[in-house]
A = this chain, B = another copy of it.
Amino acid sequence: MTGRDGGADLAPIGNSPVVILVRPQLADNIGAVARAMANGGLFHLRLVAPRDGWPQETAWRMASGADRILDAATVHATVAEAVADLHHVFATCPRPRHIIKPVLTARGAAAELREICARPLRAGLLFGPERAGLDNDDMAAADTLIRYPLNPAFMSLNLAQAVMVMAYEWWSAADATPPRDFMTNETQVATKADLDNFLIHLVGELDESGFLRNLPKRPGMIRNIRHLFQRGEVTQQELRTLHGIVTELSLGRRQRGRVEEN
């Protein structure tokens, strides 16, 4: 009935924080939250007093295959019950007032969550209901607040988007992908010798064609051509293609020359 036989083969990845939705209103959003959790490698979901009851078919439809997370979700009557077995509770709140607590960015919270989960202690993340957000009693149940750096002129954040940002930061906090990489697939970035070979080929044909006949300007023109090809991390495959292009274009010119000679 609720798609319990379908979906991706998800399971908990190490000791990860529990996502706790406090009085969520729309089952659609609960499903979208599960999808966002799966994107960021989170698994444990708890629902405090969901407005429309639980389970709700529509949540599974919106989860895009994150069924296992919904299957394993538990329902709790109160925040106190939902956090009872946890050691550290974070509460997300865009505009906390009159509260004396540490406030972390999403990134700062992700780093602390990684440390807490590595000790290993059990951590939880409270997200409030769609319209009102967490109330003062909910926030008093938290050790630490999380406030995302976002456009203060437009703070209306969808529940699943709020979970997405935190799940993304959780995953990123343990990810070692370099910020910039160069994807070459089956080929390799060319060495300077490879590049020189091509430039010698090109300049030779340009000399033959008369393109470089202005001898005072010739060194500068060659340098400019070199600058262009230096800029883009040319691969060996691309150099083979460039050799082919120069050869083919030159061939056309030579054949035309021969035709004109006849």
| Interface residue ranges, A against B (CB under 8 Å) | 8-10, 13, 32, 35-36, 38-41, 64-66, 96-108, 111-112, 145, 147-151, 153-158, 160-161, 164-165, 168, 171-172, 175, 177-185, 187, 233, 235, 237-238
Q: Cβ of B183 and Cβ of A10 under 8 Å apart?
A: no
A64-B158, A100-B184, A104-B179 known; A8-B168 Cβ under 8 A: no
Q: List, in ascending order, chain B residues with CB within 8 A of A148's CB.
A: 168
15 contacts between A and B (CB under 8 A): A10-B153, A35-B161, A39-B154, A40-B150, A97-B185, A99-B183, A100-B185, A102-B181, A105-B178, A108-B179, A108-B180, A111-B179, A145-B183, A164-B165, A165-B165
Q: List, in ascending order, chain B residues with CB within 8 A of A161's CB.
A: 35-36, 39, 160-161, 164
Distance of A137 Cα from B185 Cα, bound (Å):
18
Most buried by B among A40, A99, A150: A150
Q: Cβ of A39 and Cβ of B184 under 8 Å apart?
A: no
Q: Cβ of A154 and Cβ of B235 under 8 Å apart?
A: no
A36-B161, A161-B39, A164-B165 known; A154-B100 Cβ under 8 A: no
Q: List, in ascending order, chain B residues with CB within 8 A of A41's CB.
A: 150-151, 153
Q: Cβ of A39 and Cβ of B155 under 8 Å apart?
A: yes
Q: Cβ of B171 and Cβ of A149 under 8 Å apart?
A: yes
- Partner of A183 from B103, B155, B175 at Cβ < 8 Å: B103
A160, closest chain B residue (CB): B161
Q: List, in ascending order, chain B residues with CB within 8 A of A107's CB.
A: 172, 179
Q: Cβ of B153 and Cβ of A9 under 8 Å apart?
A: yes
A233, closest chain B residue (CB): B102
CB distance from A239 to the nearest CB of B (A): 12
CB distance from A129 to the nearest CB of B (A): 15
Q: Cβ of B149 and Cβ of A172 under 8 Å apart?
A: yes
CB distance from A15 to the nearest CB of B (A): 16
- Partner of A100 from B9, B65, B160, B183 at Cβ < 8 Å: B183
Q: List, in ascending order, chain B residues with CB within 8 A of A160's CB.
A: 158, 161
Q: List, in ascending order, chain B residues with CB within 8 A of A36's CB.
A: 158, 161
Distance of A153 Cα from B138 Cα, bound (Å):
33
